[in-house]
Amino acid sequence: MTERFGFSIERSGPGLARAGTIHTPHGDIPTPAFIAVGTKATVKALTPEMVRELGASAVLANTYHLMLEPGAELVRDAGGFAKFMHWDGPTFTDSGGFQVFSLGSAFGGGVTKVAKEGANAVSGTDGRRQKQSHAAPAKVDEDGVTFKSHIDGSPQRLTPERSMAIQHDLGADILFAFDECTSPHDSPEYQREALDRTHAWAKRSLDEHGRLGVSEATGTMQALFGVVQGGAFQDLREESARILGAMDFDGYGIGGSFTKEDIGTAVRWVNTILPAEKPRHLLGIGEPIDLVLGIENGVDTFDCVAPTRLGRNGALYTAEGRLNITNAAYVRDLGPIEINCACYTCAHFTRAYLAHLFRADEMLAGTLASIHNLYFLIHLVGRLRQALLNGRFEELKQEVLAMNG
């Protein structure tokens, strides 16, 4: 273990891809890596021991949810969210910025981290934001964002300083600066306004992080990543990468809501500019093809709720694409989810058994499906890392794209 944050690159190429290691006070993260999401200090349906056995090197928790319940002060007093949840490895927390997006710019518009094709077009010609934002429960101003708790409706306020204070209390090894994530439906004028605000908030986040010093929860220094925004606009993305890249961040997050077609392109714009010696994290993206495109274009770590969310709903990753276990075809199928998969679920249970659990509404269904999905993504990225080290990345990339195209 190391007492300080660091990043080392073991091999670069092809292109912007690289294999390396992030060093944290609570252990190393071999990169590229898929980070398990433990939104409320728990990876849904799984124990921390299960998550570790699946090969996860780190867990990411959600600032917005933990500030509301059970509260950042309690988590601080417990020694930080990792100790609170009995996780002994590296940790991340997001800033709460994406929740601002989902309650604000994207509210009522059905826009998520990956928007539908064509969503970048802005309706109307008057340069104003989409109408759905007008009744959104989050209100953004130059200082921060005001919103109501989804739990009890109580008024809440997040600013860069407040986000930093909460994240220091949560005690993660890697924090993210408070930012404003925009919707692909937002006008170019609003994208510019939000980007300027994100850059101002990044500076305030850095200043507050420096003022707070060592985490009171863990007694260790924390790393702070800036978050690049700019929507699908190349000039804004590149400007954001230049401005934030010149600031003294320990690494960088790439934020925003993308179309599938934009992920590789927008990431490449950014990562050709960001400092090569610092790690880059693609926030909230984790489908197999996205992982390949992100790694090819210089991303070191990813997080996404998809493997457990899909698992709880009966959708399973396979090398041939996604499988819906609730389909009638699997009711009497006595084979594993995937023949060559070494996860606990595939080693011990059949498709017919999982189909039975889902149809019977048994809790074990979500656990077994989540085990497989999380294992699938963690080990896919692990294979891609090994392919980078062995000079076989392009070969494995084509294999994954062919299977999931």
Structure tokens at 223: 């790393």
**What single DSSP character describes residue 123?**
P
Selected catalytic residue, list 28, 94, 179, 262: 94
329: number of Cβ within 10 Å:
11
Determine which one of 248, 290, 303, 333 is catalytic: 303
Confirm if 164 and 208 have CB atoms less than 8 A apart.
yes
- Closest alpha carbon to 23 in 9, 41, 13, 39: 9
- Confirm if 34 and 381 have CB atoms less than 8 A apart: yes
Reply yes or no: is the peptide bond before residue 32 cis, omega within 30 of 0. Answer: yes
Which residues, 6+ apart, have CB-to-CB distance to 198 below 8 Å? 179, 180, 227, 229, 240
Which secondary structure element, helix H or strand E, spans residue 146, and what is its range?
Answer: strand 145-148
Scanning the structure block, which residue is given the tokens 């070191």? Answer: 300
Pairing of strands 145-148, 138-140: antiparallel
φ/ψ bin of 327: left (φ > 0), alpha (ψ from -120 to 50), beta (otherwise): beta
Give the type of residue at 96: G
Cα dihedral 236, 237, 239, 244 in deg (nearest 10): 130
Instruction: Establish whether 173 is a catalytic residue.
Output: no
Q: How far apart are CA 225 and CA 243, in angstroms?
A: 13
Q: How many CB atoms lie within 10 A of CB 93?
A: 28
Cα atoms found within 13 Å of the Cα of residue 330, Cβ hemisphere only? 23
Q: Active site includes 94? A: yes
Catalytic (active-site) positions? 94, 303
